Amino acid sequence: MSIIDQEERISKLKKLDNATSKELRERVQAAAKGFKTSWVELAQSLYAIWRDKLFEYWGYEKFEHYVEREVGLKKAMALKLVKTYAFVEQQEPAYLKEEFHNEREAISVPELDAIHVLRLARNKKEVTKQDYQELRRQVFDKGRPAGLLRRDLTAIIKERKVVDPDEDREQRSAASVRRLLNAIRSFRKDAETLKLVKADLVKKAEELFQELEAEIE
């Protein structure tokens, strides 16, 4: 880019950097924060309904029946909202205050799915207190996205998990037997179709096949 082109670009940017563009930028920031926290109001109400079993007074036997038929939410999503809200209310009450969001940029405001992953991480035996505190800092101080947080959690669990040699050996043995069974299954089909062997041998192979399957179940 030539010096003239650079000067023209800078001049154009200066013209765009006016009161209207600044207002638009601020509006986007506010909208982004609202988008990330829009789940809270719904989750708070659903939590109260779930906790007090209000759905029973409205003629529903189960909570999932109420949310599916009256709210239009799947059970999994409704429970994610309820449990994540309960977690925030108990562990991170500051998140529910307006000041929490006003004091930070939209990019650092935690999203629902990231908080949900953090909640699950808290109950993982492989996650130490130090691990959890670092994950928490990434969520509530940095606004780390759920996908990256889930990757971090998976790496921690993999690193902390202790493999039992005997269990590992059994799993490898079972995998070998399954590969053998698949090979036998393929041969059996070909033998029956092409009549490569006698019918009584196929029958014996079938019996052996069934015994091997029962052994690894």
Pairwise CA distance, residues 139 & 118, whole Å: 8
pLDDT of residue 136: 97
Number of residues written out for the chain: 217
pLDDT of residue 20: 77
Pairwise CA distance, residues 132 & 136, whole Å: 6
pLDDT of residue 99: 87
Residues 176 and 214 sit within 8 Å (Cβ to Cβ): no
pLDDT of residue 114: 97
pTM score of the predicted model: 0.67
Where are the extended beta strands (E) located within 167-214? none
For residue 104, give the nearest of 77, 70, 141 by alpha carbon: 141
pLDDT of residue 3: 57
Regions of the chain with pLDDT less than 50? none
Under DSSP, the state recorded for 111 is P
pLDDT of residue 195: 64
Domain locations in the chain as residue ranges: 165-216
